[in-house]
């Protein structure tokens, strides 16, 4: 298997929100691992990027955090989606789908217009 790719600029927030939507509350390490697993181990989540993104999402009201105990009995901060976050997942996913559809037009062999 080749080297892992860093998460693409602007997509980490959507990946975090979608993961929380599907899996429920998660701690940072769990989020990072799930994102990597979902990518088929093709993406690498940089913790120096993840935690600032989580802080930003919390400040925007899309997630909330609480302290708890992880599966291995360690104190960990757990993140969960808020109602505003659930709404944001739908909005961001629609925007991403539109963006990728536009880009696909440029990458198609016919160069559709």
In terms of Cα–Cα distance, which of 23, 79, 74 is closest to 50?
Answer: 79
Q: pLDDT band at 7, cuts 50/70/90?
A: confident
Q: Where along the chain do its domains lie?
A: 5-107
Q: Which residues pair with 27 in a beta bridge?
A: 78
Considering only the top CATH level, what class is 5-107? Answer: mainly alpha
More confident call, 5 vs 99: 99
Predicted structure pTM score: 0.85
- Percent of the chain exceeding pLDDT 70 equals 95
Distance between alpha carbon 44 and the CA centroid of its chain, in Å? 12
């Amino acid at each position: 298997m080749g080297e892992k790719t860093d998460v693409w600029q602007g997509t980490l927030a959507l990946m975090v929100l979608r993961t929380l939507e599907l899996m429920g509350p998660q701690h940072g390490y769990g989020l990072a691992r799930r994102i990597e697993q979902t990518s088929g181990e093709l993406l690498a989540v940089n913790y120096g990027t993840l935690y600032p993104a989580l802080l930003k999402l919390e400040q925007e009201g899309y997630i909330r955090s609480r302290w708890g105990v992880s599966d291995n009995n360690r104190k960990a901060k757990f993140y969960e989606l808020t109602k505003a976050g659930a709404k944001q997942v739908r909005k961001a996913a629609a925007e991403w789908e539109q963006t990728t559809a536009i880009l696909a037009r440029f990458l198609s062999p016919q160069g559709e217009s």
